[in-house]
Amino acid sequence: MSAPPPVIVLVNPQLGQNIGKAARAMLNFGLTELRLVAPRDGWPNPDAGPAASGADVVLEQARVFDTVAEAVADCGQVFASTVRKRDVVTPVVGPVEMASSIHASQGRSAILFGPERSGLATEDVVLASHIVTVPINPEFGSLNLAQAVILLAYEWSRGVTLKQPTLFEIEPPAPHAELEGLIGQLDEALDHAGYFHPPERKTATRHTIRTILTKPAWSSREVKAVRGIVRALVRAPRIR
């Protein structure tokens, strides 16, 4: 049985836009459970919806708590997203270790994110079982709230199966007979147009064309499209 997805907890978030952007980051990687601890401007916030860019399900299900302790009361593991604090002895892990621990857990896990300007307070960090710190340029360690959420949400998502929306479904290659039909059609059209010149190069040219057409592993849909193009060119009236 796989572990449930982690809960994202925003502690004292200040701007509705940032809550919306965090919700958008969550849903991009399959996370939907958002908990808010004492949001500065109350909840719901009219500025959150537009910033969420369609991640309404996250905002609609968001729950509000008065304290961090209440927000994570049902979670066995709590990761505080912050830099190491000198006065706290909480174990520090990276995003990869955090994700592995969440996936290996049998209970709920939560990831805490602090206010935009100040980050998590020490009294909130001590409630966590781990501190999770993102490796970042030491000369410019400025991440906004949504960026921090998306980095850790992405790392968790690598352990689950998410569909890549930018990839087309892979089509099976066309049967060899369909390719032969295309090659024969094109050969006939080229021969009729006087393409094969000089005559002694006709066989070599045909071999080159065959190599071109068999190399890309055309799908049936692509073969039909190219045959349609050849058919249209053959029938097209000449422009004088």
Q: What pLDDT band is residue 43 in, cutting at 50, 70 and 90?
A: very high
* Residue 85 pLDDT: 64
* Residue 239 pLDDT: 56
Q: What pLDDT band is residue 147 in, cutting at 50, 70 and 90?
A: very high
- Which residue would you say has higher pLDDT here, 165 or 101? 101
- Token representation of residue 73: 């009361």
By the 10 Å C-beta count (0-12 exposed, 13-18 middle, 19+ buried), 74 is classed as exposed
Over the chain, what is the mean pLDDT? 88
Q: Does 169 score more than 70 pLDDT?
A: no
CA distance 29 to 153: 6
pTM of the model: 0.69
pLDDT, mean of residues 128-149? 87
CA dihedral 147, 152, 155, 161 (to 10 degrees): -90
Q: What pLDDT band is residue 86 in, cutting at 50, 70 and 90?
A: low
Amino acid of residue 28: N
For helices 220-235 and 176-192, the axis angle rounded to 10 degrees is 20
